[in-house]
Amino acid sequence: MFEMTGKRVLITGASSGFGAHFAVALAKQGADLVLAARRVEKLEQTAQAVRDLGREALVVPMDVADHASVEKAFADMPALDVVVNNAGITREGSTDRIDAEDWNAVIDTNLNGVWAVSKFAIQQWRRDERPGNLINIASILGLRVGAMLAPYTASKAAVVQLTQSIALDYARYNIRCNAICPGYFETDINREFFQGPHGAKLIKRIPYHRLGQIDELVGPLLLLASDASSYMSGAALPVDGAHLCNTL
């Protein structure tokens, strides 16, 4: 049911973190990959891990925050079956103190980048009269607010709404769109923070009393990427250890 053989998947932000992990997980299920990010040398490492599993991996330079870069990448893009909009960044700061550069960087990457990649993927599918499948990596902070993260929470909330808008507008073309909303997951970037006192306090508010592990995102990803979810579109799936269920 979760078989991906014969499907080609584009992953943005595939040079590290969730994106690199997703690439290997999908390759293990038989998918071929198109790996996109700004850091081509890092992409090559992910690509080699995919090839070691006997699957194809194409490396594509792409800055999702640059509309022209996305358009250029899609000019020679092979036929896609699934697109995972994974690229994302964050900046901390209160609304009155964050500067315009940081605000725009988050919005350009997390929202405008998702729109641009989705736009050109949909154009490809409609041109070729083929079905399509978009998976947006949003966040539980797009469903419920977090302190001092105004641009991030705003961008992820917008991604959830964009997911539903695409699902509604393109169902008639057999193009579906869903989102995964991860809670707090342990990564190389945040590990030090969560080992400190502020991180430990946050973990206590998670009903599971622990961070998620990246492998725990693979099941939801395979559900949405495969034909197992053929009648799902417009969903925003929290994967958060019941964090959203916590009391106010």
Q: Could you list the active site residues? A: 152
Is the distance from CB of 60 to CB of 74 less than 8 angstroms? no
- Token pair belonging to 198: 């502020």
Buried-exposed string 142-174: b where 16+ CB fall within 10 A, e elsewhere: bbbeeeebbbbbbbbbbbbebbbebbeebeeee
Residue 177 structure tokens: 């769109």
The two three-digit tokens of residue 150, written as one number: 């105004």
Q: How far is CA 158 from the centre of its chain?
A: 14
**Cα(61)–Cα(189) distance, integer angstroms:** 22
Closest alpha carbon to 83 in 17, 191, 166, 143 = 166
